[in-house]
């Protein structure tokens, strides 16, 4: 048997689809499928090291977990995510039209980053409606 000794901690990596999504569905036949674009190929994407200084992936991976349409699941998941110390933006919209937002953006660069996140969120919504 070969030596499988690992030197130092192995970095966590995730596979990110070319569309930028890091969420994959595991299908009954054992295949995987991107949750955003339905890609079934593990050659159209790249491994992303989950570290702030990582350079393997040219953007920030996103996840869009729907919870099978369960509002309770979504609320519970978002409540847990809202406690993340790296949180930079929160947007809530109520059915009656009121909007509540918080952002840590203070510089022009941070505001531009925040506006890009809004655009990406709008694009996710558009993809979901197709």
pTM for this one? 0.48
Q: Count Cβ neighbours within 10 Å for each residue of 43-74 and write b for 16 or more, e otherwise.
A: eebeebeeeeeeeebeeebbeeeeeeeeeeee
In sequence order, the β-bridge partners of residue 48 are 14
DSSP state of 21: B
Confidence (pLDDT) at 1: 44
Residue 89, H or E segment: strand 89-93
User: Residue 21 in contact with residue 63, Cβ under 8 Å?
Assistant: yes
Average pLDDT of the residues of the chain: 76
Confidence (pLDDT) at 63: 57
Confidence (pLDDT) at 57: 45
Tens of pLDDT along 2-34? 555 556 666 677 788 777 778 888 889 988 888
- C-alpha–C-alpha distance, residues 121 and 38, integer Å: 18
| Mean pLDDT value of segment 25-45 | 82
Highest mean pLDDT (candidates 11-25, 73-87, 97-111) = 97-111
CA atoms within 13 A on the CB side of 105: 15
């Amino acid at each position: 048997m070969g030596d499988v000794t690992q030197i130092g901690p192995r970095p966590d990596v995730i596979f990110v689809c070319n569309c930028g999504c890091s969420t994959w569905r595991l299908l009954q036949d054992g295949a995987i499928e991107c949750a955003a674009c339905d890609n079934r190929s593990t050659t159209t994407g790249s491994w992303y090291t989950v570290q702030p200084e990582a350079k393997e992936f040219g953007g920030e991976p996103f996840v869009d977990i729907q919870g099978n349409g369960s509002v309770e699941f979504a609320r519970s998941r978002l409540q847990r995510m809202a406690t993340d110390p790296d949180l930079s933006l929160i947007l809530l919209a109520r059915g009656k039209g009121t909007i509540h937002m918080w952002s840590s953006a203070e510089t022009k660069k941070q505001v531009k980053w925040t506006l890009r996140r809004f655009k990406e969120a709008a694009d996710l919504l558009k993809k979901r409606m197709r």
